Amino acid sequence: MNDMDNELKAVAGPVLRPGDEGFDEERAGFNLAVRHRPDVIVCAVAAEDVRVAVEFAGARGLPVAVKSTGHGFSVPAEGGVLVSTRRMTGVRVDPDAGTAWVAAGARWQDVVAAAAPYGLAPLNGSAPHVGVVGYTLGGGLPLLGRSHGYAADRVRAMEVVTADGRLRHVTPDSEPDLYWALLGGRDNFGIVTGLEFGLVPVARLYGGGLYFDAVRTPGLLESYLRWTATVPEPMNSSVALIPMPDVPDVPEALRGRHLFHVRIAFTGSPEEGERLVAPLRAIGPALIDSLRDLPYAESASIHDDPPTPMPWSSDSVLLGELDDAAITTLAGLVTPGPAIVELRHLGGALSRPPVHPNAVGHRDARYLIGVLNPGAGDAPERAGLVRALAPWTVGRFVNLMGHGADAGPEQVRSAYEPATLKRLTTLKTAYDPEDTFRITYHLPPVSA
């Protein structure tokens, strides 16, 4: 360990080993069912710290993992070097260019707050505490996906430390291969220390939630699925079937019930929004109806995702077009139970190719369905549901893949079309032949 001390002396942030104060907090992810045991954690405060950590690992043949907020830190780090970027929180908005630049550890809530005074918004997802960089490199399925596409498609430039220990400036022109591979291939290709991306001119939304009692109002999923076929692109929506605990901090109207939560983010006028959601309101009496004209800065209230870490297991798949028979079958498969089931409506701008190509797969998908079982134990019915969805499944989405048996080589490959996977493997072999970046949804090089 002594040579470790010497070589990592150049790191400006803390360097933690097992037993050090703060080591356990630093290695923990948001999903408490996944345990990480790195040999050393480099708590980076600048790009140079990341570079030193990667160079150090490369010289010893150690694997490198990276974590910022821990929301997607799903592949267990067993040994090796963990680079923690959560101290790199810089955010800058350029209102004239309509862009934002963030450091590796920035969270979406900081970008939303910095962009809002200029009437601009980023393409963040449902939870404001998720990290910008991990989310964007995994594709980034935003609240405004149907109206504005994937977050990855807006990336202008990246600062990246590659396996050879070089800090590179990557744009679609300067390094087209690396630009393409990082956006979808994530940390298989390097650690991004800074990211610049385009914002969208969205200051207000018509949105919020409709909460129904899933047991007392049958046919909700079927009605929702049929409704999605009728709405225009600016209508972004999803639904979740959620068993709510019977505890005092849950609103009384929702306590102990199985909820069917419809989430709406419409970028048109509030009047048009009211008209479009009328068929949903007509399904039955809502326990809570929070649909309203709201500032984009309050968009986190639409999903109201829990901010505290917990243990869970999960899987998700992307579905193609659903015909009448498929809708009836799917609605019959998803019934109130112990799992949280979420279905997001895709299509629209998500299905169009980006201006600068990237490795985000399956743009033909029309829905994403995820199943999440709270708790550390196994939940075999999840695999059963995913198997039953096979006739309509077109693949997986990197950001919302599970862990353990839900994220094996077959699941990782299913996130990409065959030609994309082939090119990713070629580029992995070129940029990371020693497979330094393997503690992730792994794309092995040909040599490994």
Binding site for ligand FAD (CB under 6 A): 29-30, 66-73, 85, 104, 125-127, 130-131, 133-135, 137-141, 186-187, 191-192, 305, 399-400, 440
Residue 257 or 403: the one with the smaller Cβ distance to ligand FAD is 403
Residue 86 or 292: the one with the smaller Cβ distance to ligand FAD is 86
Residue 202 or 283: the one with the smaller Cβ distance to ligand FAD is 202
Residue 331 or 437: the one with the smaller Cβ distance to ligand FAD is 437
Task: Write down the least CB distance from residue 250 to ligand FAD, Å.
Answer: 17
Residue 284 or 354: the one with the smaller Cβ distance to ligand FAD is 354
Residue 73 or 101: the one with the smaller Cβ distance to ligand FAD is 73
Residue 131 or 207: the one with the smaller Cβ distance to ligand FAD is 131
Task: Write down the least CB distance from residue 243 to ligand FAD, Å.
Answer: 17
Task: Write down the least CB distance from residue 201 to ligand FAD, Å.
Answer: 21
SS (H, E, C) the chain: CHHHHHHHHHCCCCEECCCCCCHHHHHCCCECCCCCECCEEEECCCHHHHHHHHHHHHHHCCCEEEECCCCCCCCCCECCEEEECCCCCCEEEECCCCEEEEECCCEHHHHHHHHHHHCCECCCCCCCCCEHHHHHHCCCCCCCHHHHCCHHHHEEEEEEECCCCCEEEECCCCCHHHHHHHHHHHHHCCEEEEEEEECECCCEEEEEEEEEECCCCCCHHHHHHHHHCCCCCCEEEEEEEEECCCCCCCCCCCCCCEEEEEEEEECCCHHHHHHHHHHHHCCCCCCEECCEEEEHHHHHHCCCCCCCCECEEEEEEEECCCCHHHHHHHHHHCCCCCCEEEEEECCHHHHCCCCCCCCCCCCCCCEEEEEEEECCCCCHHHHHHHHHCHHHEEECCHHHCCCHHHHCHHHHHCCCCHHHHHHHHHHHHHHCCCCCCCCCCCCCCCCC
Task: Write down the least CB distance from residue 162 to ligand FAD, Å.
Answer: 11
Task: Write down the least CB distance from residue 6 to ligand FAD, Å.
Answer: 26
Task: Write down the least CB distance from residue 107 to ligand FAD, Å.
Answer: 7
Residue 145 or 273: the one with the smaller Cβ distance to ligand FAD is 145
Task: Write down the least CB distance from residue 311 to ligand FAD, Å.
Answer: 12
Task: Write down the least CB distance from residue 153 to ligand FAD, Å.
Answer: 12
